[in-house]
């Protein structure tokens, strides 16, 4: 089997189980932004909070910092006050907001909470100076989901890195040692266990059926031969490296293809689709073609409609594809309208109306056809947009 088979066979079984376990963070879509997680970590670190374990959160956090700093670190147990969203910049300088600050009479711990061990634009020196003001002992901490030392630069290589996994692993372990905590404070314990499962790398265990599905994929893709290699740990590292390299090639190449689809679709919309729709929309006329969204929404070409009297129309149209189409299907599934027997196919474009009546339909035009070039006498996109316009 070739590399394409390896990736396409393994990717589904390396993902999450189709029968996802209940987790309050998944239900609430909570923890997708650093501020949300900072709120919870402040709650854990705050003495006397509703968690009912008093100073335990601080003691666990400080013990991890000491271990990273080494035996010479003069870091007292506390207690510490805990503040959130603290400006560390000197007077007259641009704001530089630290996510958390732990402080007592002698020591200040300044914490930047982020997905990776990356200062992402904040100033390490600003954080450190703030911690060392008034002669106090200052420590700068990167609290993160993943530690990647190559991301740490501009002073951040000197920061103390504490991962969510290390913090939550030890906190849960200490809580399990606390006599009757789980029984006396069942709601708090359940919340923390679910947080541990969500944000600690080892929280969600893989089931036997998922391992068997992985083995099946290894056999189908022709990669089962790797099980004969010894030593097994070296074979595992080689396999992980090979998969990562091939997946990286596919990911980067896929992004470039998406960019080309967007460019060609934008050109087609301006040169051909615009004139095809002229005078035919009930909503008005297409006055502008835009394609300037970013992030998960960047795979869109928007047709901005203005009513014939010059007023702004309440309804524009969007051509969505790839990750952007997926995002809408996942989060606004009630707006997707499929024909009889039709299933979602991300190799196709999606046509959507925005405004008072939000509807998205799957186009018959494929991304590959866009790459190859749509002809001037291809009216499929025009007809699909007019069909949506007629439903408003």
Measure the CA–CA gap between 49 and 15, rounded to whole angstroms. Answer: 36
Mean pLDDT of the region 24-38: 78
Closest CA to 290 of 301, 298, 305: 301
Which tens digits make up the pLDDT trace of 115-127?
Answer: 889 998 999 999 9
Report, as an integer, the average pLDDT of 187-210. Answer: 76
Q: d(Cα 237, Cα 336) in Å, to the nearest integer?
A: 42
| Angle, in degrees to the nearest 10, between helices 322-331 and 232-268 | 100
Which comes out higher in pLDDT, residue 382 or 333? 382
Query: CB–CB of 111/102 below 8 Å?
Result: yes
> What pLDDT shows up at residue 11?
64
In the chain, % of residues over pLDDT 70: 89
User: CA torsion 172→178→180→183, rounded to 10°?
Assistant: -20
- Looking at the chain, the number of H-run helices and the number of E-run strands are 14, 11
pLDDT in tens, 282-292: 877 888 899 88
pTM (2 d.p.): 0.50
Contacts of residues 248-252 at CB distance under 8 Å and 24 or more positions apart, as own/partner, are: 250/7
DSSP label at residue 296:
G
pLDDT in tens, 272-324: 999 999 888 887 788 889 988 888 899 999 998 887 666 655 678 999 999 99
Q: What torsion, rounded to 10 degrees, do the Cα atoms 291, 294, 298, 300 define?
A: -40
CA distances from 159 to 137, 153, 232, 266, 369 (A): 14, 10, 35, 45, 50
Mean pLDDT of the region 8-32: 66
Q: What are phi and psi of 193, to 5 degrees?
A: -65, -40
C-alpha 221, offset from chain centre: 29
Residues 215, 210: Cα–Cα separation, whole Å = 9
Question: Please, how many CA atoms are within 13 Å of residue 144, restricted to the half-sphere of its CB?
Answer: 21
pLDDT at 5: 61
Helix (H, G, I), strand (E, B) or coil at 149: helix
The 10s digit of each residue's pLDDT in 67-96 is: 999 877 788 888 999 999 999 999 889 999
pLDDT for 8 beyond 70: no
Nearest-Å Rg of the Cα atoms of the chain is: 27
Name the nearest CA neighbour of 106 among 146, 141, 67, 133.
133
Is residue 43 very low, low, confident or very high in pLDDT (cuts 50, 70, 90)? very high
Bigger pLDDT: 180 or 206?
A: 180
Q: pLDDT confidence of 1, banded at 50, 70, 90?
A: very low
Instruction: Report how far Cα 88 is from the mean position of its chain's Cα atoms.
Output: 27
pLDDT-above-90 percentage for the chain: 49
Average pLDDT of the chain? 86
Supply the pLDDT for residue 197: 86
Count Cβ neighbours within 10 Å for each residue of 165-198 and write b for 16 or more, e otherwise: bbbbbebbebbeeeeebeeebeebbebbbbbbbb
Asked whether 305 and 313 are in contact (CB, 8 A), the reply is yes
**Residue 205, pLDDT above cutoff 70:** no
Token representation of residue 352: 């959507």
> How do strand 285-290 and strand 137-146 relate by DSSP bridges?
unpaired
Q: Judging by DSSP bridges, how do beta strands 348-355 and 315-320 pair with one another?
A: antiparallel
């Amino acid at each position: 089997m070739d590399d394409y088979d390896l990736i396409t066979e393994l990717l589904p079984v390396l993902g999450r189980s189709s029968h996802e376990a209940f987790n309050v963070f998944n239900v609430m879509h909570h923890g997708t932004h650093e501020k949300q997680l900072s709120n919870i970590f402040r709650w854990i670190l705050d003495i006397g909070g509703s968690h009912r374990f008093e100073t335990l959160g601080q003691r666990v956090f400080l013990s991890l910092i000491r271990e990273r700093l080494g035996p010479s670190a003069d870091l007292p147990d506390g207690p510490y006050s805990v503040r959130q969203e603290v400006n560390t910049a000197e007077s007259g300088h641009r704001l530089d907001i630290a996510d958390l600050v732990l402080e007592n009479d002698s020591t200040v711990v300044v914490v930047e909470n982020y997905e990776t061990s990356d200062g992402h634009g904040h100033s390490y020196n600003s954080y450190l100076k703030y911690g060392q003001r008034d002669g106090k002992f200052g420590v700068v901490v990167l609290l993160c989901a993943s530690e990647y030392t190559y991301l740490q630069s501009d002073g951040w290589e000197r920061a103390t890195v504490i991962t969510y996994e290390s913090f939550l692993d030890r906190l849960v372990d200490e809580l399990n040692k606390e006599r009757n905590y789980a029984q006396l404070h069942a709601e708090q314990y359940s919340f923390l266990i679910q947080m541990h499962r969500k944000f600690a790398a080892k929280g969600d265990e893989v089931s036997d059926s998922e391992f068997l599905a992985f083995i099946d994929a290894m056999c189908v893709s022709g990669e089962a031969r790797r099980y004969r290699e010894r030593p097994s740990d070296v074979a595992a590292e080689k396999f992980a490296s090979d998969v990562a390299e091939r997946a990286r090639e596919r990911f980067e190449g896929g992004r470039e293809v998406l960019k080309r689809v967007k460019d060609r679709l934008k050109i087609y919309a301006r040169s051909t689709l615009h004139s095809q729709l002229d005078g035919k929309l009930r909503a008005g006329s297409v006055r502008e073609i835009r394609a300037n969204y970013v992030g998960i929404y960047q795979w869109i070409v928007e047709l901005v409609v203005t009513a014939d009297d010059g007023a702004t129309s309440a309804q524009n149209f969007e051509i969505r594809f790839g990750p952007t189409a997926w995002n809408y299907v996942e989060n606004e599934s009630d707006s997707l309208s499929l024909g009889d027997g039709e299933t979602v196919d991300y190799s196709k474009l999606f046509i959507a109306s925005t405004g008072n009546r939000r509807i998205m339909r799957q186009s018959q035009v494929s991304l590959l056809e866009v790459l190859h070039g749509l002809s001037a006498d291809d009216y499929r996109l025009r007809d699909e947009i007019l069909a949506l316009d007629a439903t408003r």
